Amino acid sequence: MAGRILIIVDGPAALTYGTPMVTALRQRKYTVQVAPTAYPGPSATAFVSELAWTTLSGHPCKTIETLDAEAFRQQDLILLAPVSHQVLDIFLRGKALEYLQAAGKPVLAAVPRLSSDPQEDPTEFLAKMPPRSILLQGDTLLDLGAMGTLKAPSLEALLLTVDSILSKNDLAGKRVLITAGPTAEDIDPVRFLTNRSSGKMGIALATAAALRGAEVQLVHGPIQTTVPALTNLHAVPVRSAEEMHHAVLECWTNLDIAILAAAVADFRPDHYAPQKIKKVDGQALILNLRRTPDILAELGTFETRPFLVGFAAESDDVEVNALLKLRKKHCDLICANDIRKPGCGFAVDTNQITLYSPEEAPLHLPLKPKRELADDILNEIVRRMK
Binding site residues, ligand C5P, CB under 6 A? 179, 241, 260, 262, 264, 266, 292-296, 310-312, 325
Nearer to ligand C5P, 81 or 312 (CB): 312
Nearer to ligand C5P, 95 or 340 (CB): 340
Least gap, CB of 326 to ligand C5P (angstroms): 10
- Contact assessment for residue 305 and residue 299, using Cβ atoms and an 8 Å cutoff: yes
Spatial distance between the Cα atoms of 220 and 319, rounded to a whole number of angstroms: 27
Distances from the Cα of 367 to the Cα of 160, 206, 376, angstroms: 17, 20, 12
Nearer to ligand C5P, 29 or 291 (CB): 291
Q: Amino acid identity, residue 39?
A: Y
Spatial distance between the Cα atoms of 220 and 207, rounded to a whole number of angstroms: 13
Least gap, CB of 165 to ligand C5P (angstroms): 28
Least gap, CB of 175 to ligand C5P (angstroms): 19
Residue/partner pairs of 27-30 with CB below 8 Å, 24 or more apart: 28/1, 28/159, 28/163, 29/1, 29/2, 30/1, 30/2, 30/3, 30/4, 30/5, 30/162, 30/166
Of the residues 195, 254, 337, 379, only one is catalytic, namely: 195
- 276 by Cβ neighbours in 10 Å (0-12 / 13-18 / 19+) ranks as exposed
**CB atoms < 10 A from the CB of 68, how many?**
11
Positive or negative torsion for Cα 226, 227, 228, 231: negative
Helix (H, G, I), strand (E, B) or coil at 233: strand
Least gap, CB of 265 to ligand C5P (angstroms): 7
Nearer to ligand C5P, 165 or 312 (CB): 312
- Contact assessment for residue 133 and residue 152, using Cβ atoms and an 8 Å cutoff: no
- 84 by Cβ neighbours in 10 Å (0-12 / 13-18 / 19+) ranks as buried
**CB atoms < 10 A from the CB of 41, how many?**
8
Dihedral, CA of residue 337, residue 306, residue 382 and residue 331, to nearest 10: 30
Least gap, CB of 193 to ligand C5P (angstroms): 13
Residues recorded for the chain: 386
Spatial distance between the Cα atoms of 140 and 82, rounded to a whole number of angstroms: 13
Nearer to ligand C5P, 16 or 292 (CB): 292
What is the DSSP-derived secondary structure letter of residue 263? B
Nearer to ligand C5P, 294 or 319 (CB): 294
Nearer to ligand C5P, 11 or 221 (CB): 221
Nearer to ligand C5P, 135 or 331 (CB): 331
- 86 by Cβ neighbours in 10 Å (0-12 / 13-18 / 19+) ranks as middle
Residue 195 falls in the annotated catalytic set: yes
The residues annotated with a catalytic role in the active site are 195
